[in-house]
Amino acid sequence: MTDLPFAEAIPRFARHLDRERNASPHTVRAYTRDLEQFERWARDELQRPVACAEVDHLLVRSFLAHLHHHGLKKSSAARKLATLRTFFRYLAREGIVERNPARALLSPRLEKRLPAQLEEGEAAALVEVPGDTAGAVRARAVLELLYATGIRCAELVGLDLPEVDLEGRLIRVLGKGRKERVVPFGQAAAGAVRAWVAVRDTLGPREDALFVTRAGHRLSDRAVRRLVSQRVRAISLERRVSPHTLRHAFATHLLQRGADLRAIQELLGHASLSTTQKYTHVNARHILEIYKKAHPRA
Spatial CA neighbour of 155 closest among 96, 90, 209, 99: 209
d(CA 39, CA 271): 32
Residues 6+ apart with CB under 8 A from 78: 107, 108, 110
The CA-atom distances, in angstroms, between 131 and each of 128, 135, 144, 198, 282 are 10, 9, 15, 15, 34
Active site residues: 152, 176, 244, 247, 270, 279
Q: Please state the separation of Cα 119 from the chain's center in Å.
A: 21
